[in-house]
Chains A and B, each alone.
Chain A
């Protein structure tokens, strides 16, 4: 089966971006919406068709999914080093195509209502298409360099979209912060890529992921793995650096500081980029290189992934307990859930049943995209109605926003892991994988599940129940263009849990079947229910319990509310140490010594010439005198000093 047509999937949004971007002043709102949505619809149809063909018809050969590659040499450096561009079709990339297409299409439809009346409407849709193009390209990448190129493109799109309201200083600062932090992480990513390329001799994913070669220490890609650096193979170091790039994009500790600030962008942007697609790019990268992570050095790099993921999810869940801004709560929730994904990859095995962590991670990525995007879009609907982001300005909205209320509830139940919604199945599988491989991380994530349920329902009750507030102008339900995507995503959140994901996605591409582990399921539902109950008691009606508890915790509450002061710490390091101690001396050197030398040369030339110019005095007598004296001197030299 020829999958070359998949090249159209990223190309169509690129063309839409170019059209909308170049003619952004001439194309009006209605036309821009139609062009954007139709372009993306075509890509969505192609993605779904690809998924249908791949998973159900031609992908499987003898029960093993085959990867399809179409690529061409893009840049030729030497005969051993070349960069290719192409498409790679295998289970996880097809799955990601479906995710990206669905969420992007929903966000496009939603934005037609949400951004209605905004002067930069066409520009917004152009950026959305640019992002879709970049994300598709990232997902379909065949080698490390191609993924890096699209990685940066996604970062640029994020920058443009976060800073969409470019007249707001906080939005501009947030977009810069996002770009700089991810760029800093990408520095590690680039070093990792270069190290990988140098020591294994290739960048291509299929060559790197060849499990037979990975287990044979004499194969071309592993022959340099014997070189160690601080006790670990250089390839492990390269993998950890590549993971650092992924951690930056996925807002893992310590690169997480940009995600809460990124909420300055419009809510559809938060839904698309910072909930469902871009932030999972890091997870996708680790999944892409999973055989390498697993086999090199007995999975040393994988341990790093697991612990970083678990720690990030715990940190984010704790911070989310105390935040007031609803979008920030959702941002920390995203960080926490992505921690789950990373941890699940980290504890995964490789063959057959052992690969449950990998499957669960991909499954949870899929379901999380659905309900997190839904949560963000509902939040957008609420913000659209109330014109404020803060919890304290909301309450009792269930009467005014019925559709938003029901869809939000479905999404909240999904994320809390309550059956039969999608979150239950995927989170359960993650917990099973953790339980089987790393009990410590299992207990950590179990606690995080409880915290997740608690803060999610604190949010739910705070918006839709709580105090029956009187609003100056009554909030109204959003128009159909906004509620239609909400309903579709709610349907998805309710039903995708029943997909037998292990039949499609597994680390060694062999389909297997999973079954429900009743013990783990009971534990996760139990703690979720406890979380919901606590939130019910504290927040359904307006009570003083929250205030009492927060003052009781006092110091701890303050630290959590201020996100553990990481922003202040990083600012201190950059300003006081890097700028003042390191950058300033260099700047002084550059200005005074380097520029000074150049200026010295120039000024001395001018000074000398102004002294010499007196010889051009215009007096013929002086010129003649110079002639005669010169002749006399020459005669003296020749007669007396040269024999």
Chain B
């Protein structure tokens, strides 16, 4: 049962990913990405990490996609067909990517992973919170704080970069 769900999810992910990179209309590419993200969230649900799936949907599908759509609307070029790279370029890159994925897959498939222990317990949000913010072994408190600093920097940077010339001049 779960296999079938997994295969459907992977078909969605791969299919819409290919569609996103090859589409010639920008808004359609963004929407295809949305479907890919929903597929990935579904995958997280499948393996039982509900909290992560929720975050994925909220931030990625809810925040980032909205950001993309707003920027696309600002560009005023929704209806234009995007240019496609030359055939030679696409061919070379396609072959390289196929080669790369072939190498990676062969490495993965030739490695013998240990058999997973049976039994899955659903994880609770409380244990995720406790674990992430613990000081002891396996705690991720430092990266957590660093992320906060990063977000602060990004906020300030985004404001400065997007202020633009007109707004800068207005202040003087």
A and B touch in the complex (CB under 8 A): yes
Interface of B is mostly: helix
Q: Give the size range of A's interface with the partner.
A: under 10
A632 touches B107 (CB 8 A): no
Q: Kindly state whether residue B96 has any CB partner on chain A within 8 Å.
A: yes
Bound CA–CA A635/B107 (angstroms): 9
Interface 0/1 of B84-116, CB less than 8 Å to A: 000000000100100110011001000000000
B93 touches A632 (CB 8 A): no
Chain B residues with CB under 8 Å of A629's CB are 96, 100
Chain A residues with CB under 8 Å of B107's CB are 635, 639
A635 touches B103 (CB 8 A): yes
Q: How far is the CB of B71 from chain A (nearest CB, A)?
A: 19
Bound CA–CA A10/B93 (angstroms): 89
Q: Kindly state whether residue A5 has any CB partner on chain B within 8 Å.
A: no
Contacting B at CB under 8 A, from A607-643, are 625, 628-629, 632, 635-636, 639
Bound CA–CA A480/B96 (angstroms): 107
Chain A residues with CB under 8 Å of B104's CB are 635
Q: Which residue of B lies closest to A636 (CB)?
A: B103
Number of interface residues of B (CB under 8 A): 7
Q: How far is the CB of B139 from chain A (nearest CB, A)?
A: 32
Bound CA–CA A259/B104 (angstroms): 94
Chain A residues with CB under 8 Å of B100's CB are 628-629, 632
Chain A residues with CB under 8 Å of B96's CB are 625, 628-629, 632
Bound CA–CA A639/B99 (angstroms): 14
Chain B residues with CB under 8 Å of A625's CB are 93, 96
Interface 0/1 of B9-51, CB less than 8 Å to A: 0000000000000000000000000000000000000000000
Q: Which residue of B lies closest to A629 (CB)?
A: B96
Chain A residues with CB under 8 Å of B103's CB are 632, 635-636, 639
Bound CA–CA A635/B103 (angstroms): 8
Q: How far is the CB of B106 from chain A (nearest CB, A)?
A: 8
Q: Which residue of B lies closest to A639 (CB)?
A: B107
Q: How far is the CB of A103 from chain B (nearest CB, A)?
A: 92
Bound CA–CA A639/B96 (angstroms): 18
Chain A residues with CB under 8 Å of B99's CB are 632
Bound CA–CA A628/B93 (angstroms): 11
Bound CA–CA A15/B107 (angstroms): 93
Contacting A at CB under 8 A, from B121-170, are none
Q: Which residue of B lies closest to A625 (CB)?
A: B93
Q: Which residue of B lies closest to A622 (CB)?
A: B89
Bound CA–CA A557/B96 (angstroms): 98
Bound CA–CA A629/B103 (angstroms): 11
7 cross-chain pairs, A with B, having the tightest CB-CB distances, nearest first: A632-B100, A636-B103, A629-B96, A635-B103, A632-B103, A639-B107, A632-B99
Residues of A that sit less than 8 Å from B by CB: 625, 628-629, 632, 635-636, 639
What are 16 A-B contacts with C-beta separation under 8 Å? A625-B93, A625-B96, A628-B96, A628-B100, A629-B96, A629-B100, A632-B96, A632-B99, A632-B100, A632-B103, A635-B103, A635-B104, A635-B107, A636-B103, A639-B103, A639-B107
Q: Beyond A628-B96, A632-B103, list 7 extra A-B contacts (CB 8 Å).
A: A625-B93, A625-B96, A629-B96, A632-B96, A632-B99, A632-B100, A635-B107
